[in-house]
């Protein structure tokens, strides 16, 4: 039997936190130098602002990851990372668009000549026409499709819906609005099962209609995030209607309802990609576990879960629903410390570790080993690194823009 | 031991499988490409019905052809003329009408001293279309009255210049019958030491679109397309701006050129959707 009182309630030891932070940030630094647009610009020009941006980005990401590990407050520090990532994505994406095009519209000619940037939400719509019709039904460059395809498939299998709280550059927008200070005006305790199943229905609908029409139906009609990225040029009555529709979806689902309910309404009850990644939760080895022997049935975790992924029933069974984004919000609130990351087929968690012997204070290395060799550390190392790799250029680009604005 | 096994699996997944996405992306790219998988033609500027390429010489007619203009031939001499069909097979709310793209490509960037809407100030492009659809609409008496030519007859003249936002489509009596969308696309390449936004233009494509609702079924019958590129000569403002009133393309262009044009201006012949 292990003695959980000998482990910090949530946080990891200083030695494990420092080791893992340095390890992760070194990998990130090598990766940034070898790939992507940062590497590209370094190869062509040594711009000092970009180097400053890179150093500040690495420092910022390092501090965030260290605090996640050391304090164990996954929810707080992950949310700060996730929100800042979404903000930098918007600044960087729109900044580049305005510089290159002067506006946010994707002209019909850009669409026809495959210049729309590839986005992960497109992947489910591509699959059937790709397999059956040998055609890619999204107006993007050919090279970006296999890259995104393999990335999404691997993320789906390894992390499941963990993507939706650590990697997606849209999810942070909703997290931002749901976390704005203010009272919870609309307390959604338990959405109707039909409402909860809506994202899966939406997924089915867009996959089928995209196949039947050979066009990316979700992108054309519904995607709320076009409001703050780019959208088809508004040159007809149909386009006015479509623009109104997706802008309203953004305002209502991403801004207003999250402010009122403190929940991620779009991610929890609308996004088909969230449903797609939820299917990955069935395969992913990483899970969120509830220790039923510790749980006091206070149900605070249900009220805090942003995507309605907990219910009294699932808590009783010691697990979350399939839609869990592995965000860690419930860990922080649970007064009994009953919730933690776990792995399918293993009883090891941060609170229940075979390296920590009953009644004995673990030594420096034993504690470090126990902190590093547990599901939460393995999961967070992988997914934070992945999120950071994708976020790196957005952070860097934003810092460069700010430095330029300051006239430096 | 069993409880450590899944942790080992998780570690292997993260340290080995996830990084494999990078080389995996390249391998998957090669594999998918070799299977014939492509971006749907609707999203690549359309299915190419036919094209004439002319990277070096002067197969595609450029006027004026006097030696004075040869030094700027890069932005006058079209390197490729293609006709492409953009047709979405089902209604989808895409919002892009089914249409024909008439595409003229040029090396480098067009000059644009006047900062005009289309991004060029000097170049003018005339496309001529010989349409069996227009002929099929004629009444018997109109058909009897029509003068026929062994080659060079046309029904539509599509004029694109930097001074108009739209392509102007004229019939062969010189009347403007329709305006349609024009795109000018610049293909950029990295220039050493420059930011992305200052990349150099390698190729400029001028695309005039003809809605199929207007042109009729372009996959039916024998269609002839001609492309004529030139310069808006400021010493003679009407030059290349005015529509032609003669129903033979060679007659039409002869007054713009000193020499006999037949044989120099090659038509792109597309019969029942196939290039001849
Ligand atoms: S549910 Fe959709 S928008 Fe939300 S985080 Fe997941 S993929 Fe992104
Ligand atoms: S917050 Fe913790 S103790 Fe309360 S119901 Fe949830 S798991 Fe149980
Ligand atoms: S169950 Fe917990 S970890 Fe999963 S989404 Fe809800 S709050 Fe986040």
The answer to whether A340 and A349 have CB atoms below 8 angstroms apart is yes
Atom of ligand 1 at shortest distance to CA of A165?
A: 5
From the CA of A175, the nearest ligand is 1
As for the ipTM of the complex, it is 0.84
Helices first, then strands: H and E counts in chain B: 6, 13
Give the H or E element holding residue B33: helix B21-34
Place of tokens 């204070």: A361
Q: Which two tokens stand for residue B104?
A: 């003229």
Ligand 3 atom 8: the closest Cα is on which residue?
A327
With a 6 Å cutoff on the Cβ, whether A273 touches ligand 1 is: yes
Which amino acid residue places its CA nearest to atom 2 of ligand 3? A330
CB < 8 Å to B195, chain A: 45
Find the CB nearest B13 among A129, A147, A158.
Answer: A158
Q: What is the pLDDT of residues B119-151, one digit of tens each?
A: 676 678 889 999 999 888 888 887 777 777 777
What pLDDT digit, counting tens, does each position of A75-134 carry? 999 999 999 999 999 999 999 899 888 899 999 888 888 889 999 999 999 999 999 988
Q: Which of A147, A343, A373 sits opposite B25 (nearest CB)?
A: A147
How many CB atoms are closer than 10 A to CB A23? 14
pLDDT band at A5 (very low <50, low <70, confident <90, very high): very low
Q: B39–A142: do the CB atoms touch at under 8 Å?
A: yes
Pairing mode of beta strands A105-106, A231-232: parallel
Q: For chain B, how big is the Rg over CA atoms in Å?
A: 24
CA B160 – CA B54 distance, rounded (Å)? 20
Q: Is omega for the bond preceding A225 within 30 degrees of 0, making it cis?
A: no
Return the axis-axis angle of helices A171-178 and A74-100, rounded to nearest 10°: 120
Nearest atom in ligand 3 to A339's CA:
2
Predicted TM-score (pTM) of this structure: 0.89
Which ligand minimizes its atom distance to the CA of A304? 3
Burial of A297 (0-12, 13-18, 19+ CB in 10 A): exposed
Residue A319 DSSP label:
B
pLDDT truncated to tens, each residue of chain B (276 aa)? 678 899 999 999 999 988 998 889 899 999 999 999 999 988 888 999 999 887 765 555 555 555 555 545 455 678 889 999 999 888 888 888 899 999 998 887 776 666 676 667 667 888 999 999 988 888 888 777 777 777 788 899 999 988 888 999 999 888 999 999 999 888 887 766 555 556 788 888 999 999 999 999 999 999 999 988 877 655 554 456 677 777 788 777 665 655 555 556 778 999 999 998
CB contact under 8 A, B4 and A348: yes
How sure is the predictor about A36, in pLDDT bands with cuts at 50, 70 and 90? Answer: low
**What is the chain B residue with the closest CA to A158?**
B13
CA of A374 to the centre of ligand 2 (A): 21
């Amino acid at each position: 039997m292990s003695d959980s009182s000998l482990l910090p309630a949530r946080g990891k030891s200083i030695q494990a936190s420092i080791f893992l932070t340095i390890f992760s940030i070194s990998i990130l630094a090598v990766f940034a130098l070898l790939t992507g647009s940062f590497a590209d610009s370094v190869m062509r020009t040594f711009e000092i602002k970009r180097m400053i941006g890179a150093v500040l980005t690495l420092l910022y990401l390092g501090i965030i990851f260290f605090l996640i590990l050391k304090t164990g407050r996954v929810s707080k520090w992950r949310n700060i990372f996730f929100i800042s990532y979404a903000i930098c994505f918007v600044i960087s994406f729109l900044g580049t668009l305005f510089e290159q095009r002067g506006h946010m519209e994707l002209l019909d000619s850009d669409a026809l000549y495959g210049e729309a940037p590839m986005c992960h939400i497109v992947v489910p719509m591509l699959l059937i026409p790709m397999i059956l019709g040998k055609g890619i039904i999204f107006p993007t460059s050919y090279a970006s499709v296999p890259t995104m395809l393999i990335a999404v498939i691997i993320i789906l299998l390894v992390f499941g819906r963990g993507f939706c709280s650590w990697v997606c550059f849209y999810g942070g927008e909703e997290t931002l609005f749901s976390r704005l200070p203010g009272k919870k005006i609309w307390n959604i305790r338990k959405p109707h099962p039909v409402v909860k199943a809506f994202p899966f229905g939406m997924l089915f609908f867009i996959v089928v209609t995209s196949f039947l029409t050979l066009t990316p139906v979700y992108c054309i009609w519904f995607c709320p995030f076009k409001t703050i990225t780019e959208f088809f040029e508004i040159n007809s009555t149909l386009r006015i209607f479509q623009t109104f529709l997706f802008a309203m979806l953004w305002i209502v689902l991403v801004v207003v309802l999250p402010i009122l309910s403190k929940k991620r309404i779009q991610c929890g009850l609308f996004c088909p990609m969230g449903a797609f990644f939820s299917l990955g939760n069935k395969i992913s080895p990483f899970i969120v576990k509830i220790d039923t022997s510790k749980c006091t049935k206070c149900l605070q975790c249900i009220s805090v879960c942003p995507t309605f992924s907990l219910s009294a029933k699932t808590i009783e069974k010691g697990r979350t629903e399939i839609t869990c984004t592995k965000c860690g919000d419930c860990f922080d609130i649970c007064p009994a410390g009953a919730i933690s990351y776990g792995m399918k087929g293993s009883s090891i968690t941060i609170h229940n570790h075979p390296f920590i012997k009953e009644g004995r204070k673990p030594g420096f290395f034993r504690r470090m080993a126990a902190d590093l060799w547990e599901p939460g550390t393995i999961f967070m190392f992988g997914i934070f690194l992945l999120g950071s790799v994708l976020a790196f250029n957005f952070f860097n680009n934003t810092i460069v823009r700010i430095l330029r604005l300051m006239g430096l | 031991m069993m409880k450590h096994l899944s942790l080992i699996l998780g570690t292997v997944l993260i340290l080995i499988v996830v990084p494999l996405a990078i080389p995996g992306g390249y391998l998957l790219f090669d594999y998918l490409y070799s299977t014939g998988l492509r971006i749907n033609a609707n999203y690549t500027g359309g299915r190419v019905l036919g094209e004439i390429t002319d990277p070096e010489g002067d197969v595609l007619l450029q006027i004026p052809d006097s030696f004075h203009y040869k030094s700027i031939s890069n932005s006058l001499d079209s390197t490729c003329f293609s006709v492409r069909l953009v047709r979405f097979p089902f209604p989808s709310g895409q919002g892009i009408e089914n249409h024909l793209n008439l595409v003229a490509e040029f090396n480098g960037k067009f000059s644009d001293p006047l900062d005009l809407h289309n991004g060029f100030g000097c170049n003018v492009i005339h496309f001529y279309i010989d349409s069996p659809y227009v002929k099929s609409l004629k009444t018997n008496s109109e058909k009897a009255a029509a003068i026929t030519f062994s080659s060079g007859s046309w029904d539509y003249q599509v004029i694109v210049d930097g001074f108009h936002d739209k392509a102007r489509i004229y019939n062969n009596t010189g009347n403007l019958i329709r305006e349609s969308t024009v795109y000018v696309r610049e293909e950029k390449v990295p220039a050493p030491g420059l930011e992305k936004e200052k990349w150099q233009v390698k190729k400029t494509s001028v695309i005039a679109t003809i809605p199929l609702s207007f042109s009729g079924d372009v996959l039916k019958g024998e269609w002839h397309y001609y492309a004529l590129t030139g310069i808006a000569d400021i010493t003679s403002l009407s030059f290349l701006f005015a529509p032609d009133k003669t129903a033979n393309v060679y007659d039409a262009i002869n007054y713009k050129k000193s020499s006999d044009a037949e044989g120099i201006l090659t038509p792109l012949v597309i019969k029942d959707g196939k290039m001849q």
